[in-house]
Amino acid sequence: MKNIFVNGYGSIGSRIVSFLKDDPEISVVGIGKYSPDEKVQEAISKGLDVYVPESKMESFSNYKISGSIESALDKSDLVIDAAPGGHGYKNKKNLYEPKNIPAIYQGGESTIGSEAVSDLLFNSRANYDQALGKYHVMQGSCNVTGMGRILEPLRDKFGDQLVRFDVTLVRRWADIEQTEKKLSDTIEMTEKPHHGDDVKLYFGKDAPLYVRAIKVPTRQMHLHIMDIRFKNNAPKPSEIHDVFTNEFGVATLWTAKGTKDVRDYAQNMGFNFIDTNMIHIHANMTTSIGDTVQMMYSDDQTGIVIPENHMLMQAMLFDKSYQDAFAHTESIFHMKEKKKKLQEHFAKNN
């Protein structure tokens, strides 16, 4: 049994804790909170111990706080940092490194530059073994994780037949539960998006991958439009879909008219946090013309990185093989069952 502390209780932290509580190999020490808001009482009502910075204890006097974050770390074997982007590096320097505690960081951090939290950006499909026994590792963002679930299987199948990938990321404006975030009535262009460089950290720095990004006023997932060029004639759409038949966390859908259709189905089926935790290939949109395949797939935003965090935790804490970690993650998240239900519901009309 290992003790895990989750430092942060927002979109990612709340999801991670929910699944860790179902893991018989893990004991959750508690969660870290930095602001005395309604999320504090929500966590306490769910039976979680809440810890706050030593310097802010008085601000939480209206709540039943279990102690300081510093004291929680003394009881922990690993911390999953779910703080807002940029705070992870500060936490590493001020908290984790002084106490010699392994830590997982989220996609808002960096693996390059003076404020790098790690020299490894994790994607279970690409570099699981590199995380074995490491002390500080960054989990890729939802878009970066999603591209890995598509790119790596394509590279495995087609190898040097591939010439280049051009990807347009259509990003959601905010997560569903971030109701305080107003959706602006605009399509926002992202100059020099980090996603392509991040993917190249595991896909290869010289990979022929080109990424542009826009942000649109929706909370209903991301959508990626990917053009894949081949040396010769491109494979048929059916050959592309066949690549993902047995892929973890990739469902092939035919009749979803939009991302909200998928989210509504997840809600109707009672999926936790109405997440699918996966990529959804919109198979009716896949086309093959000449040397190019165009495909579209939606990315379950925050939900997609939660099983990845679970895989990464097993590599760092338990030194598990990929196969053992995969089997254990599947027992917690039931990804195969979700995939089957999604594919049956959005099956091709005969």
Alpha-carbon distance 332 to 19, whole Å? Answer: 7
Q: Residues with catalytic annotation?
A: 142
Q: How far is CA 144 from the centre of its chain?
A: 8
pLDDT reported for residue 99: 95
Which helix (H) or strand (E) segment is 166 a member of? strand 162-172
Burial of residue 330 (CB within 10 Å: 0-12, 13-18, 19+) is middle
pLDDT reported for residue 337: 96
Nearest to 310 by CA among 297, 298, 295, 325: 325
Nearest to 72 by CA among 5, 23, 24, 26: 5
Nearest to 177 by CA among 349, 302, 278: 302
For CATH 3.40.50.720, list the domain ranges present in the chain.
2-140+305-333
Quick one: residue 328, left, alpha or beta (phi over 0 = left, psi -120 to 50 = alpha)? Answer: alpha
Would you tell me which CATH number, out of the four given (3.40.50.720, 3.40.50.800, 3.30.210.10, 3.30.70.1140), belongs to the domain 2-140+305-333?
3.40.50.720
Q: CB under 8 Å to 79, separation ≥6 — which residues?
A: 4, 5, 6, 7, 73, 95, 96, 101, 102, 103, 104
Label the pairing between strands 292-299 and 279-282: antiparallel
Alpha-carbon distance 202 to 28, whole Å? Answer: 30
Torsion of CA 273, 277, 283, 286, to 10 degrees: 120
For CATH 3.30.360.10, list the domain ranges present in the chain.
142-303+334-346
pLDDT reported for residue 124: 95
The per-residue pLDDT string of the chain (350 residues; one tens digit each, 9 = 90 and over) reads 899 999 999 999 999 999 999 999 999 999 999 989 889 999 999 999 999 999 898 888 888 999 999 999 999 999 999 988 889 999 999 999 999 999 999 998 988 889 999 999 999 999 999 999 999 999 999 999 999 999 999 999 999 999 999 999 999 988 877 778 888 899 999 998 999 999 999 999 999 999 999 999 998 999 999 999 999 999 999 999 999 999 999 999 999 999 999 999 999 999 999 999 999 999 999 999 999 999 999 999 999 999 999 999 999 999 999 999 999 999 999 999 999 999 999 998 87
Strand pairing partners for 6?
A: 31, 80
Which CATH superfamily does the domain covering 142-303+334-346 fall into? Dihydrodipicolinate Reductase; domain 2 (3.30.360.10)
- Do residues 56 and 40 touch, judged by C-beta distance below 8 A? no
pTM to 2 decimal places: 0.94
